[in-house]
Amino acid sequence: MNLDIVREKMARFLHKNVTVTVYGLRNKNFEYYGVVTGVYPYVFTVLVNGTQKSFNYSDVIIGDVVVKLA
């Protein structure tokens, strides 16, 4: 999987409800429910409870961030 494929996939999720799972260090995992509000060259943003959160496409490629339609 490369950056262009992930960027195209996220562009299809624009303005849709998603679940974002972030696998952190020391088994600290976070799960966010929100709407994809922006797709930019290196990051995408998700609106979660009125707060914008941004995520890197590279984290999606290596598996630290997983995005699914809600």
SS3 12: helix
So where are the chain's domains?
3-69
| 3-69: CATH, from 2.120.10.30, 2.30.30.100, 3.30.1370.60, 3.10.620.30 | 2.30.30.100
pLDDT tens digits in sequence order for the chain, 70 residues long: 789 999 999 999 999 999 999 998 888 999 999 999 999 999 999 999 999 999 999 999 999 999 999 8
Q: What's the pLDDT at 27? A: 87
Q: What's the pLDDT at 70? A: 87
DSSP code string of 2-57 = -HHHHHHHHHHTTTSEEEEEEE-GGG-EEEEEEEEEEE-SSEEEEEETTEEEEEEH
Beta carbons of 21 and 30 less than 8 angstroms apart: yes
